[in-house]
Amino acid sequence: MRFLPNFVEREPDPRFSAMSSTRRDFIGALLAASVIPCDNRAKAEKLVMPVIKGAIRWDAWYDRAGASAYAQRSLGPEKFQGRAPAHCRSLSRSQVECVGTSDVMAAELEAAKDAGIDYWAFVWYPEHEPDTRSLRVAWKLYQASAIRRLVNWCMITPISEFGAYPFSIDRSNHNIDGILDLLAQDEYQRVLQNRPLLYVLWNDRDVEKYFDASLKNVADALERFREGAARRQMPDPYIVIMGGAPDVSATLAHTIKADAISNYISSFSKIGAQPFSELEPQVESFWRKLVTTGVASIPIAMIGWDTRPRLEQPVPWQHSDPVANPSDQKYYVDANPEEFARHIQRAVDFVRLHPRECPAKSILIYSWDECDEGGCILPTLGDPRGVYLRALRSVR
């Protein structure tokens, strides 16, 4: 990603309140389950509790203007061209061209559905900004597709979308109405009691600029957002804060009354080239930190992290100096398909083991198409058959 700056753990069911035959059957089923061998019980639990799988989309591969042109330039060198989406073309040893079409989107929808992806989380950018307009092309192709219902969608929106510059309640309300229009779509992803799922990407500088540096203004805007949903007779939106470190996100969630926390990527360390086996335990440690905050969470899973294309062909929104900042040199080789499937299965099983802490019963995967930043799972020029999506089919 990111064209945005600074982004681096019941009550009894009333149906069983009376000792009816239904309740006796229910208790009998529980007793039977208590003596099922562990392996079989895990299989039974998977049938009882499906977990929703989402994947992040950052769509710089459907037009050659603005931010997309810079991202495509990053994948221009021959050694990086294999990371470009399969619909791209190699023009030379130093250039790729990526332009999306309705047929490309249809193929992606079918491939994602076949792999078991339930929803795409589109990173949201203002269409009126020339530099970011190209990043909305894929979403428009999705919206226009006759088969878009194969895969749901939701937004990863910057917190700025709920504010205004200069800040005013009237202008903030206008933005809120636009977001609510989108959340009302039939294909919009819902969780829990049919609640629209909304990821909010946190940035302190956005709070300063679009909310007069006031967290109260942020909280008030989100409350007006919920009130707007109620007036439309929509279920209460499920707001998930992406705020970096779990403790920071948890504090923000309490302050602005968000519902849950997650992040775009997990935290990790190391310098230089590392295998995926070094990244995976750090990602899982991040899940554990999320669920110990006392705030509901959605775990983020990762295929890898490798920003070398951007280091060699810098993009204007990300300033890295690997000489002055050795941490910029860190990267993790992408998981192989077997490692990736195992990692996603562990994420799914983690949610099942923490139903109270992960009530939305969802995971988020980094990423569908962050091809030049960290790692992607869609078919690419180097992987036209989509081995990661094929591996994902085994996750239950």
All residue ranges of the chain with pLDDT < 70 are 1-48, 319-328
Rounded-to-integer distance, Cα 391 and Cα 384, Å = 14
pLDDT of 3: 38
Closest CA to 228 of 190, 156, 179: 179
Rounded-to-integer distance, Cα 331 and Cα 318, Å = 16
For 361-391, write each residue's pLDDT tens digit. 999 999 999 999 989 999 999 999 999 999 9
Using CA of residue 71, residue 75, residue 77, residue 80, what is the dihedral sign? positive
User: Measured in Å, how far apart are the chain's first and last C-alpha atoms?
Assistant: 28
Three-state SS string over 55-95 comes to: EEECCCCCCCCHHHHHHHHHCCCHHHHHHCECCCEEEECCE
Phi then psi dihedrals of residue 329, to 5 deg: -85, -5
Residue 342, CB half-sphere, CA atoms under 13 Å: how many?
A: 9
Q: Do the Cβ atoms of 322 and 273 come closer than 8 Å?
A: no
Burial of 139 (0-12, 13-18, 19+ CB in 10 A): buried
Residue 359, CB half-sphere, CA atoms under 13 Å: how many?
A: 16
For 170-223, write each residue's pLDDT tens digit. 999 999 999 999 999 999 999 998 999 999 999 999 999 999 999 999 999 999
pLDDT of 149: 98
For residues 22-56, one letter each, b for 16 or more C-beta atoms within 10 angstroms of the residue's C-beta and e for the rest, the string is eeeeeeeeeeeeeeeeeeeeeeeebeeeebbbbbb
Judged by DSSP in three states, 262 sits in strand
pTM for this model (two decimals): 0.87
Q: Do the Cβ atoms of 59 and 367 come closer than 8 Å?
A: no
Rounded-to-integer distance, Cα 34 and Cα 46, Å = 15
> 89 pairs with which residues across the strands?
97
Task: Give residue 189's Cα distance to chain centre.
Answer: 12
Judged by DSSP in three states, 101 sits in coil
Burial of 251 (0-12, 13-18, 19+ CB in 10 A): middle
Closest CA to 346 of 51, 48, 47: 51
